[in-house]
Chain A
Amino acid sequence: MEIKELLSTAFVAIRTNKTRSVLTTLGIIIGVGSVILLVAIGSGLQSFVTKEFEALGSNVLFISPGRVSFSGGPPQNVEAKFDFEDVRKIGELGAPIVKSSGMISKGVTIKYRSESFYGNLAGVEEDYQEFGNVEIDKGRFFTKNAVERGQFVGVIGHKVYTELFGEGREAVGKEVDISGRQIKVIGVLKEKGGGIGGSSNENTFAIIPVTTASKLTGINKPAAVMVRTATAEDTTIATRKVKEYFYRKDLTDDDFTILEPKELLSTINSFLGVVTGALSGIAAISLVVGGIGIANIMLVSVTERTREIGLRKALGATRRDILLQFLIEAVVLSVVGGGIGVAGGWGLSVLMSRFIETAVTPWSVGLAFGISAGVGVVSGLAPAIRAARLDPIAALRYE
C-alpha cells in the first residue's frame, strides 16, 4: 500500500471523529508548545545575558575584595586589603593590561531642595562610561581632569533625576546635596531597561569622580576594580599578572576575587542551559501523557473498526497493511498535534517577547517534531499490532 494512500486513509479516519481527534492531540499540543516556549525563554535569557556581558566588554577583569562565592550567602561587605595606590600600580603592570580603575560605592541620600532620594553613590573614573555601558541623556560625563582634581561634579541616574527634579525639568547645572556637600549635576543618564534583579542598576546612581567620593565618604579602599586588557584573549594573562601582584603584597586568595566576564558568562550560560533543559524535560512529561492519550484512543478506534479491519483483510490487506494503517494514523495525529504545538509555542513566545527576550531555535522545533512523531510511533504500535493480529473471520462477525 502506498504511503499516499495510507496518509489519505489516516486523514479520513481522523476527520470522521473530529472532536475526539482534537481532544486526543491536546496532550501533544500542550507538551510540544510548552517545550518550544520554555526553550525559547531559556535561549532568550542566554542571549540577553550574553549581550549584557558583551556590553561590559570582553576585555575586562573585575577585582572584588574578599572571597566572592557563587554558592551561597549574600556578598559580604569586606574592606579591601588593597587601596587606590594598588589600583594605580596594577594599571602600570604592563602589557596586556591597558588600564585599571577603582570604584567606590555607598548607599546615600541625595537631596535637591525639599526632595530627597535614597540611592547609590558611585565613585568611578572617567572611563566608567565605557566600562559600565552607561549612556548619557543630557549633558555629559565628567573628564579625567575632574577625577584628577576631585571636582564636585557628577551625573545622575534616570530615577534619581525624575524623583528629585521631575520629568522634563532641567537638572544639568543644578546642585544636589550628598552627605552635606553640593555636587554639580553635569549629566543625566538614559533610563536603563530592567535587567535581571534590576534594582541595583544605574537608574538609582549618582556617579561622581572616585577622588571626590573618597573625600565625601572617607572611604579610601576600592569596592571594586576594573582592569582593561588589549584584547579579550589577554584576560587570562592579565589575571595571572594581577594575582602575582597581590601575592607579592602577601595577600591570599581569600583577600580578593578576580572575575573574568567571559568565564562567568560561560558558567551562567551552562547553568541556564541546564535549567532550560530541566524545565523542558518536565514539560516533555506532558508529551508522555499525550502519547498515552493517543494509545488509548487508537485502542478504542481499533475496537470500533474491527469489522472494517476484517473487511480490509478479506479484500486482501496483509498484516503489514493493517499495521501501517493504524501506525500512520497515530503518527499523523501526533505530528499534527506537534505542528499545532510548535505554532502555539512560537506564537506565545513572540507574544512574550514584548516583556522578556525569547528566541525560538530551529533545533527545538526540529526536536519537537521528531519527538511527537516518535510518540506517535510508540503509542500507535500496540494498537496497530493488535489490529494487524485480528482474525479476519472473528473481525467480520464482530457486532
Chain B
Amino acid sequence: MSKEEFIRVDGRKPDELRKYSINAGILKNADGSAEIRLGKNWIVVGVYGPKEHFPKFEALQDRAIINCRYHMAPYSTTERKSPKPSRREIELSKVIRTALEQAVILEKFPEMSIDIFIEVLQAEGSTRVASITAASVALAEAGIPLRDMVVGCSAGKVSGKIVVDVGEEEDKEGEADLPIAIMPNLKRVVLLQMDGKLTHEEFKEAFEKALAGALELYEEQKRALKGLIEKMSEIPSEGDGNEQGV
C-alpha cells in the first residue's frame, strides 16, 4: 500500500502499538492474576475459582458460570469517575465475559463459578481489549482449562487514516473505533464492536490492523506465561552450586 509516512498524535506509526508489557501471577491471594500496561493503561486482573456457585438455584448443572466485572477506579480517568458501575461498565463486563467464555472449557466445572475481576487503575483508551488480554493470562495462570488464549487489540480511523491501538486522544478525535478480540490459534473473533464511520474497505483494513496488533500482543502473553515456568526451572544460586538451570 502506497502511503506517505503518517505520524500520530503520540508520534507512533500507523501500525505501531503503544509500549506494552504483561506480567502474570502478580497477586498472591488470587488463583490466577495478571497485569497489563499498554501506554498509560494499567489494568490488573484477579481470577478466583472455580468455586461453588451461590445462590445454588442459579448454578448450572452442566457447566460453570463466569462472573466478570470490568471496573474503572475513580482516579483512572482525567475527570474523576464515580466508583458506582456505569451502564458502559455493565456493557463492557458483558462483552468481555462472553468473549472469554468462548475459550474457557466451562463443562469441566458443573455447578461452579469462576470470578474474573478487572480493575482499570489507569485508563488511556482501548481498555476493554487490554482487559481481555490480561484476563486471559490470569485464567491461564489459574490453571483453568482454555481452548485457546484470548487477545484483543483495537484499530480506528483517525484523521482519515486507519491506525492500530487507538489511544485516548485519538479515540476522542477519531472518526471510528474498532475493538476486537480473537482466539489466535483457532482464528475466531470473540469480541467485535465498532462505532464511527467506516466504508467496507476501511473496515477490512482496520480489522486486519487490529488482528496484526492482537497477534503481536499474543506473543507477549506467551512470554509472560512461559516466564513463570522458566523461573521455576532454576535452582537458587545458594546451596550446592553444582546444579544448573534448564
A binds B: no
Q: Which residues of B contact A (CB under 8 A)?
A: none
Q: Which residues of A contact B (CB under 8 A)?
A: none
